[in-house]
Amino acid sequence: MMFKTTILAAAMVAFSALTVQAHVGLSFPCARYHPAAGCPAPPAGQSIDYDINAPIGTSDSINRPICKHTVPYTKRSTFKAGQTIQTKYSVGAPHGGGHCQWALSYDNGKTWVVIKTMIRECLRGAQAGYSVPVQIPANAPSGKATFMWLWNNAIGNRELYSNCADIEIQGKNGGQLQGVAPLIANYGKGSPVIGEFPLATQPDGKELFAKRKAVTITVKAK
């Protein structure tokens, strides 16, 4: 019986490792409930996400909410306004790369401002250790914030990937952050659809990014 139990436990560990390697997920700053060593324990009532790299939806369906998990970590990483975060990713299948957006929210995901966009080249040829520098705006107000990563893949099913990290920003006391709202594409029927674009000559939906709406986030001084 002990032998069978040991085999079962080993199989579960192997399965968990395989699910984490499928597709791509944000690993630094720690995405909510990421199983990577060094990431905080999930908050009460939540559990480690061993399928952290899975998409949150496709052009036909919504499988998970934006951010994938809605309950923030109780422990946050701290960054200074103007600091560049060397973001990292758990890479399984990069699907030919694609479009990535990074955004900040100060109201737990109700309002977002995009702080970086990569068209086509994001995750192209990505392997273990893949990293992208993302700068926190120099005028970012102090406070608890949500750092979001979005990815529309170039090859394969028309999917949207999203992870969020809970951070604390040390900046000025109050102020505004201006920019554009994220493009949420390939996320359920009625959302904009970005088709496959494995070749440089194929349409990639970049015109949709040019139409993102202007948005301003205001954080009150304390």
70-129 pLDDT tens trace: 999 999 999 999 999 999 999 988 888 999 999 999 999 999 999 999 999 999 988 888
Total count of domains within the chain? 1
3-class DSSP state of 16: helix
| 202: containing domain | 2-219
What's residue 14's pLDDT? 37
What's residue 22's pLDDT? 63
pTM of the model: 0.90
Structure tokens at 203: 């349409």
CB-neighbour burial class of residue 86 (10 A; exposed 0-12, middle 13-18, buried 19+): exposed
CATH of the domain at 71: 2.70.50.70
Q: How many helices (H) and strands (E) does the chain have?
A: 2, 11
Residue 29 preceded by cis peptide, ω within 30: yes
Q: Is the pLDDT of residue 8 over 70?
A: no
Per-residue pLDDT tens digits for 21-58: 468 999 999 999 999 999 999 999 999 999 999 999 99
Q: Is the pLDDT of residue 13 over 60?
A: no
pLDDT, the chain, mean: 90
